[in-house]
């Protein structure tokens, strides 16, 4: 594997763990304001991000590349009203998409087709992540100012259950 690609993937492991940390911080925020459904949604989101990191970890391991773990930064986002974590989440997903795209571009340049195949799944996943984040903002803007609407949305998010990614390496 090209060293640049290995380094980018290794860095992505750290970014995915940061994403999990960030989403746990969002969950913590929602727990503190009594929105347990939102808290559940972001706790599950954190689990997904952790599993994304582990998929990249396993991919490097499977290719005999040593993983070098880095420090995970403290989550940094601007608190505000109940939509602040949602908006920060969408911006973060767009950032992660750009990181995945950068790895894909490097793999394309190096004709690393195995890595491109791996990244195809992540590209699809990022499309879903951005749509989910955008849809949450839309729903919050539509229903969040109405107590009954917020209750229903919170209940909907509370029903989410974790499903592990179905990607074989």
Which tens digits make up the pLDDT trace of 86-119?
999 999 999 999 999 999 999 999 999 999 999 9
Indicate the domain borders of the chain.
3-158
- Tokens for 102? 């950068």
Kindly report the pTM of this predicted structure: 0.94
Which residue positions in the chain have pLDDT lower than 50?
Answer: none
pLDDT of residue 168: 73
**Ranges of H-type helices in the chain:** 3-32, 36-62, 84-109, 113-143, 147-158
Question: Of 56, 65, 52, 23, whose CA–CA distance to 40 is shortest?
Answer: 23
* C-alpha dihedral sign at 76, 82, 88, 90: positive
| Residues 65, 158: Cα–Cα separation, whole Å | 39
pLDDT of residue 33: 97
Domain 3-158 in CATH 1.20.1260.10? The answer is yes
């Amino acid at each position: 594997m090209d060293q640049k690609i290995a380094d980018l993937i290794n860095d992505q492991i750290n970014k995915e763990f940061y994403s999990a940390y960030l989403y746990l911080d969002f969950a913590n925020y929602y727990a503190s304001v009594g929105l347990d459904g939102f808290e559940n949604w972001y706790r599950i989101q954190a689990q997904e991000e952790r599993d994304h990191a582990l998929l990249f970890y396993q991919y490097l391991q499977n290719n005999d590349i040593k993983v070098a773990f880095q420090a995970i930064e403290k989550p940094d986002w601007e608190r505000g009203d109940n939509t602040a974590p949602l908006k920060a989440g969408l911006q973060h997903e767009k950032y992660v998409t750009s990181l995945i795209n950068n790895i894909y571009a490097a793999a394309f340049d190096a004709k690393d087709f195995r890595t491109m195949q791996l990244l195809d799944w992540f590209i699809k996943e990022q499309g879903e992540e951005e749509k989910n984040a955008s849809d949450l903002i839309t729903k919050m803007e539509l229903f969040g100012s109405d107590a009954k609407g917020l209750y229903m949305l919170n209940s909907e998010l509370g029903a989410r259950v974790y499903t592990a990614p179905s990607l074989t390496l």
